[in-house]
Structure 1
């Protein structure tokens, strides 16, 4: 390999390391700030936004299965059970051709 390839490899390694260090520094500052309370709800909000955007434009059977999965999530508070109930509901609705 020529020197150009090595320069690109070193540059990308430094960039990747710098991004990680910047994330650690920024994370430490955010946790110490007055807005740190918002971080507690962020994972749930991200999941809800991903589910909502993936349901947009889906069939009614997908919406019904999502509602069934939501009910299972509220009742069980268990991720695997919620996924299993949601998949079973969607499969049942597809089998019934709803």
Structure 2
């Protein structure tokens, strides 16, 4: 699992989660303070990584594919756990057995 994480740009997961929330490349770029082309490039990499279009144009925004909806159930909570750990907000971390490895609490997509 750590080899997978080492070879994956975790910023892509932030882009994925933000696209799920915003449903717009433009709004995603604004929220992350990057150019639209950066989000488009990240989306291309995500599509390759997951072998799925993930988001389809819909009007002025995008809509998630079924695969994106499934991935969001794992990626969203994993990012929340990571954020809590990085900000030392232990109240939102899982209260699993103290002998359990922290990496076991993060689902493998």
TM superposition score normalised by structure 2: 0.24
Higher-strand-fraction structure:
2
> Structure with the greater relative contact order (CA < 8 A, sep ≥ 6): 1 or 2?
2
Higher-helix-fraction structure:
1
